[in-house]
Amino acid sequence: MNTKRSRLYVVMGPLLGILALVLYVMTLSQGAYPGESANLMVTELGLNPLGFSGHLLWSWVINLVAGLPIGPVSTRLNVLSAVCAAGAVGLFFRILADSVWAGIPVTDLNVRAANRASLLAGVVGSVALMGAIPFWYAANRFHPASFDMLLLFILAKLLMTFIRRASIGVGLVFAFLYGAIAVEFATLVIFGPLVLMGILYALWINGDLRWGRVLPLAGCLLAGMLFYVPAAWHLQGSETFQLSQGGGFWSALLFVLKGQYQLIVKSLPEVGWLLVIIVGIVPWLAALVVGRRGLNEEKDWGLYTLHLILTCVVVAVLFNVPFSPWCILGPWRLLVTPPLSPWFSGRWPGSAWQPRPA
């Protein structure tokens, strides 16, 4: 049986990443971009005695880049955001293409159609992400959102690999990184129950759901979460914390946890939260629930209608219509994840507009 992936699958991710990098570098901010980006930059570089960064991993990367003797430090940090965003675009192609490929029982009869569908899904979703306003906003100036999205996509790729073959090595790496990155990226706390279901499902379908597998995964997750310790130490040693809060290590740790809690509960706006859910979460859930059926079953006008609706939502969000998450939330506190979910669900209608073999 010939079920090999297309050769384009190997090269399209890097090509899209390079294209994104060229795009972001050509539109790169010259120096510190006024507003949030400039404030973040002076805070991360230690030039603002009253500022504090809540991004531990991002701060470590910044210290490495800031120490390089190449060009102005502001340019280096802006390029860092562009590189992270370009890497995220390239990885996003793999995630979308793999998710569609995994949803199709590939045989000799449909291998070409499956390759076309997966490639089209990856290209459409990655190009949409590349040119979407909130992601571009974070890519051509200094901002941690592009770094956070790169970490999110790395975790998504590892999780998809684990679900496919339940390799204990991949699972342990994923669990450790998930715990560590959760310190950096509060969105992972929200995704926690869904990820747990995916892990247990992967172990179950591979006949490996037992304590000998679950406990090591839980241990690696807790080991990764130990990054809360240096995050609290980092906060405790800052002048901002001592002036505003004071206290020792446990007070700093509690402050970090409260900060993440506030980010989660305020992730939806008080006005327009229902629209954000409708265009940001519902399409993603719809793609997860009926994606496999829509890619494999016979013609169904109900599925065609759903394809059309999701396509309209994705295109509308891409062009920043008044009810899009970016238009509602604005740049005052950049959130890339809400607009990201319709782009992810867009891989399904994008791949579904494919002729199926008879």
Q: Is the domain of 239 the same as that of 191? A: no
Say if residue 197 is in the same domain as residue 241: no
Query: What integer pLDDT is reported at residue 255 of this predicted model?
Result: 83
Which tokens belong to 337?
């994840």
Query: Would 173 be classed as within a structural domain?
Result: yes
Q: Of 265, 286, 316, which marks where a domain is finished? A: 265
| Euclidean distance between CA atoms 303 and 244, whole angstroms | 55
Check residues 23 and 34 and name the one with the higher pLDDT. Answer: 23
Is 326 contained in some domain?
A: no
- What mean pLDDT comes out for the span 344-348? 46
For residue 350, the model assigns a pLDDT of 43
Q: Do 235 and 245 lie in a common domain?
A: yes
- Say if residue 172 is in the same domain as residue 221: yes
Across residues 202-230, what is the average pLDDT? 90
Q: Which of 27-41, 42-56, 97-111, 317-331 has the lowest mean pLDDT?
A: 317-331
pLDDT at 335 over 60: no
What DSSP letter does each residue of 21-39 carry, written as one string? Answer: HHHHHHT--SSSPTTHHHH
Q: How many CA atoms lie within 13 A of 35 on its CB side?
A: 11
- Look at residue 22 and tell me whether its pLDDT is greater than 60: yes
Contact status, residue 343 vs residue 125, Cβ threshold 8 Å: yes
In a domain, 181, yes or no: yes
pLDDT score at 87: 96
Judging by beta carbons within 10 Å of its beta carbon (0-12, 13-18, 19+), is residue 271 exposed, middle or buried?
A: exposed
- pLDDT (tens digit, 9 = 90+) per residue, 236-267? 777 777 766 777 888 888 888 888 887 777 76
As a whole number, the mean pLDDT across the chain is 80
What pLDDT, on a 0 to 100 scale, did the predictor assign at position 343? 43
| Pair 174, 212 in one domain | yes
- Which is nearest to 57 in space by CA: 196, 188, 242, 167? 188
Q: Decide if 7 is inside a domain.
A: no
Q: Which one has a higher pLDDT value, 295 or 214?
A: 214
| Full-model pTM | 0.83
- Considering the domain architecture, whether residues 216 and 233 belong to the same structural domain is answered as no
**250 and 215 in a common domain:** no
What is the average pLDDT across 37-61? 79
Last-in-domain residue among 265, 294, 320: 265
**Closest alpha carbon to 54 in 336, 333, 248:** 333
Percent of the chain with pLDDT over 70: 77
Domain-embedded: residue 208: yes
Distance CA 158, CA 171 (A): 8
Asked if residue 79 is part of any domain, the answer here is no
Number of domain units in the chain: 2
Mean pLDDT of 176-183: 92
Is the pLDDT at 351 greater than 50, yes or no? no
Confidence band of 38 (pLDDT split at 50, 70, 90): confident
Residue 147 and residue 58 in contact, taking contact as beta carbons nearer than 8 Å = yes
Looking at the domain assignment, is residue 290 inside a domain?
Answer: no
Together in a domain, 170 and 215: yes
Side-chain half-sphere exposure of 34, counting CA atoms within 13 A? 0
| Per-residue pLDDT at 175 | 95
Domain range enclosing 187: 166-225
The region of weakest confidence among 60-74, 146-160, 168-182, 323-337 is 323-337
User: For the stretch 241-262, what's the b/e string if a residue is b when 16 or more beta carbons lie within 10 angstroms of its beta carbon?
Assistant: beeeeeeeeeebbebbeeebee
pLDDT of residue 86: 96
Summarize the confidence of residues 256-284 as an average pLDDT: 72
Any domain includes 186: yes
d(CA 314, CA 144): 25
Q: Which of 249, 265, 281 is the last residue of a domain?
A: 265
